[in-house]
Amino acid sequence: MNMKIRLFIAFIFLQLPLLASANVITVSDAWIRSAPPNAPVLGAFMQLRNNSNSDVKLISANAQGYGRVEIHQSSEDNGVMRMQKQDFAPVAAHQSLNFKPGGWHIMLIRPTKVPTTGAHVPIQLTFDNAPLQTIDFVVKQSNVKTHHHH
């Protein structure tokens, strides 16, 4: 084997850990429920997939133009839907966590301007055991009706 091929193979092997770490968490179907222009909060949803051998936690989310951004989980308590702020969202090794209306979601609180349907909102996701990611969430209409009580 000539020297150029050996160097190329060595280079590829050195890059593998970097490539693997970049795909620890994959995010798909990232969207925000459309809301009226005066809405005080918006819900953001997505599918998180943990491709690693270790559990990973989503520990925070951040977006420009919002007073606060929080991780929430809705649950039913005696027939009443309740929404509660969470310190993190766990994604088990080789599993997915679906952020959807009526379940896990990101709350975008006090928007300076409510985005319109079709707009894109970048949200930065911080994990405890995976690289930080900035994901482009698209604003979509949703037919799902949920009622939340704090």
77 inside domain: yes
Which 3 state secondary structure label does DSSP give 13? helix
14 inside domain: no
pTM, full prediction: 0.79
11 inside domain: no
The Cα–Cα gap between 107 and 150 comes to: 13
By the 8 A CB rule, do 144 and 79 touch?
Answer: no
By the 8 A CB rule, do 124 and 77 touch?
Answer: no
Q: How confident is the model at residue 77 (pLDDT cuts 50, 70, 90)?
A: confident
Q: Residue 86: which CATH number?
A: 2.60.40.1890
Which 3 state secondary structure label does DSSP give 133? strand
In which domain, by residue range, is 117 found?
Answer: 25-140
Span 3-19, pLDDT tens digits: 776 656 655 555 555 44
Cα distance from N-terminal residue to C-terminal residue, the chain = 67
Longest dimension (CA), the chain: 71
